[in-house]
Amino acid sequence: MIEKYDYDIIVVGAGTAGMTAALYALRGGKTVLLLEKETFGGQISFSPRVENFPSIKEIAGSEFADNLFEQVTHHGAQVELETVQSVVKDGVGFIVTTDYRSYTSKAVVIAAGVKHRHLGLPREEEFLGKGVYYCALCDGDFYRGEEVSLIGDGNTALQYALLLSNICSKVTVITMFDKFFGEPTLVERLKARDNVEIIQGYLAESFIGEDKFEGILFRETNGTKSLEVRTKAVFVAIGQVPDNHCFEGIVSLDKQGFIIADETTATITDGVYAAGDCRVKKVRQLTTAVADGANAAIAACSYIDRI
């Protein structure tokens, strides 16, 4: 049994949902530890432009994340760059173990986000960073003035393609289906670019190149035709997958690995809440991440006040 808690609330993940949870918890008078394994700000940090957040006409995703991080630390959040390995309930509290040490808290908010979905092709890891990339904002400038390709059909893919079209001589966009699934305004912008070629209805089948990456071989999604795309680099933007395996003992996961939580973000374990992209939900947007973070913190504070 825990005799003295290190913190009132431990938040796992410093994306938008996690940092919002930390902010609301701090404003509620609770002590907070924010644990992040990679990048403060989460997925939004890699978005070149945010135009759908209320009251902000336009902002770079990295700037939005930096502002939120500064706000949270200003209000007193303790922040550590560590990878959580397990969360264990001990009495009414919790022991959170990272790759460095263990911490104790009265409640836990899991906001672990998601990671990039890979194509799943042979040699993908071999070409990673040597022709195959998952973040155009991070790596696009390496191919300034070159011809590149992009695979994907959602908002992230559209934003990446627009970004690349500003710095690359040509961008070939390949989608699995015969349409885009992103915002119509982004689709219109992309189609208006003279240096963008759109190829729809093709699925990546294998990489071209022996000693180095030279392109990708595609086949028709609903046919037998093959398509060879020779390119300097390919940027993959086909969605994200959860990384919740270390929480399996404390929460329930669906078949895809997302955490099952109700609309208050409560999980099957009292005192554990799931916020943001890591949980089962229909809409994954910046605004819904903020809402989840606020709900999780309020619920966690209420739980602490009851125990």
Given the residues 135, 243, 246, 262, select the one marked as catalytic.
135
For this structure, is 246 an active site residue?
A: no
Pairing of strands 196-200, 170-175: parallel
Which tokens sit at 11? 């938040």
Structure tokens at 120: 């799943």
Among residues 90, 138, 141, 178, the one annotated as catalytic is 138
Count of helix runs (H) and strand runs (E) in the chain: 7, 17
Q: Single out the catalytic residue among 6, 66, 139, 243.
A: 139
- Is residue 139 part of the annotated active site? The answer reads yes
Residue 85 and residue 99 in contact, taking contact as beta carbons nearer than 8 Å: yes
Which SS3 state, helix, strand or coil, does residue 207 take?
Answer: strand
Please, are residues 160 and 235 in contact by the beta-carbon 8 Å criterion? yes
Active site residue 135: yes
Strand ranges, E, within the chain: 7-12, 32-36, 78-81, 84-90, 93-98, 102-110, 114-116, 132-133, 147-151, 170-175, 196-200, 202-208, 215-220, 226-230, 234-236, 240-242, 272-274
Catalytic residue list = 135, 138-139
